[in-house]
Amino acid sequence: MKTKHLLSLFALLLVVILCLQVNDIRQEQHFNLARREILMRKIGHEILLHSGDSTSRVLPVTKLENETYRLQFEKPFTFEPDTLVHIIRQTLGSQNETPDYIVNVLDCSNNAVVYGYAIAQQKKNDVLACSGRQQISACYLLTVKFGNATFSMKQYAATASLLAVLALCPLLVVQYRRKKILQTKSPISKNQPIAIGSILYDTDKKQLVVANEIVKLTAKENRLLAIFAQNPNQIIDRARLQKEIWEDDGVIVGRSLDVFISKLRKKLELDATVQLVNIHGKGYKLQIET
């Protein structure tokens, strides 16, 4: 399969994988958001129970910006900070399962912070204050602000795009090098036949003509001889011949070049002054005696 086809297939595969992963992460985020709202209502329920209220309602949870949730209550209640911390920690899960979060209890009348604390995945960064101080019964609001422990969709998309580009880089380099090699290839003449000694080499018809005798060339023999014909009496590097003739096939077999050189050498025997000479350790040369 040609390199450009591999590039296209690989790029398509990356796009499909990226789309599937983005869809999975979006569904997971929607699930987590819904789950958080339920957990917030459970927190409100437990707070009221611990304050001795088993009948009043926990009002609808409000999601504010920056991953902040606000919890409101139907009636005034009292709370003890240590109990509040325990309820929220038990409901949200362990520190390893939950991102950092900040809790604030606000006075309904003026939004002043009555009590607050912070919990971090690194326990040494926890901030807890006013433990053991029972708060009076009043109208309170409770907010929980979650930190960014996981990627947002934008961060995920940016990271996935970067990984896709990095994955494509090796193939892009291969494609670039291939184009450079193709640009340096000796062009096959589309004009008049080329004279190689007494042989007329017709690149368009892929044939050799001498003394009214015609010898046909295969496609690879034609491409191979075209390189030599454009560079008579010059050593052509073996690696260059292999790349220019076999690279499009995707696999280069070391002995293939030797086989085609041997076949081409026999066809050039029409003229004894023309020889394909093996230059040991370097390559081959189309030697034409004058």
- The partner residues of 58 in beta bridges, in order of sequence, read 73
Is the pLDDT at 68 greater than 60, yes or no? yes
* pLDDT value of residue 67: 86
Residues 16 and 141 in one domain: yes
Give the CATH number of the domain where residue 279 resides: 1.10.10.10
CA angle 173, 179, 185 (to 5 degrees): 140
* pLDDT value of residue 186: 46
Give residue-wise pLDDT tens across range 215-240: 999 988 999 999 999 999 999 998 88
Residues 14 and 140 in one domain: yes
pLDDT band at 75 (very low <50, low <70, confident <90, very high): very high
* pLDDT value of residue 99: 78
CA distance 38 to 147: 18
Residues 21 and 108 in one domain: yes
Residues 136 and 33 in one domain: yes
Residues 8 and 121 in one domain: yes
Q: Token digits for 219?
A: 């496609």
CA–CA distance from 276 to each of 64, 195, 269, 279, 285 (Å)? Answer: 81, 15, 10, 10, 6
* pLDDT value of residue 119: 86
Q: Which domain holds residue 97?
A: 3-146
* pLDDT value of residue 183: 52
Residues 223 and 141 in one domain: no
Is the pLDDT at 4 greater than 60, yes or no? no
Does residue 124 lie in a domain region?
yes
Give residue-wise pLDDT tens across range 246-277: 776 655 556 788 888 999 999 988 888 999 99
* pLDDT value of residue 191: 61
Q: Which of 111, 146, 181 is the last residue of a domain?
A: 146
178 versus 222: which is more confidently predicted?
222
* pLDDT value of residue 235: 93
Nearby residues of 48 by Cβ (< 8 Å), 6 or more positions away? 54, 56, 58, 73, 77
Q: Which of 146, 171, 203 is the last residue of a domain?
A: 146
* pLDDT value of residue 95: 47
* pLDDT value of residue 74: 93
* pLDDT value of residue 151: 46
Residues 104 and 27 in one domain: yes
Does residue 153 lie in a domain region?
no
Nearby residues of 155 by Cβ (< 8 Å), 6 or more positions away? none
| Mean pLDDT computed over 130-142 | 83
CA 165 from centre of chain? 5
Residues 136 and 51 in one domain: yes
pTM given for the model: 0.44
Residue 129: what residue type? A
Average pLDDT, the chain: 79
CA distance 58 to 44: 6
Q: Based on the structure, what is the number of domains in the chain?
A: 2
Q: Token digits for 13?
A: 């595969």
Residues 125 and 231 in one domain: no
Q: Where are the beta strands (DSSP E) in the chain?
A: 62-64, 68-72, 101-107, 113-119, 140-146, 194-196, 199-202, 207-210, 213-216, 235-237, 274-279, 283-288
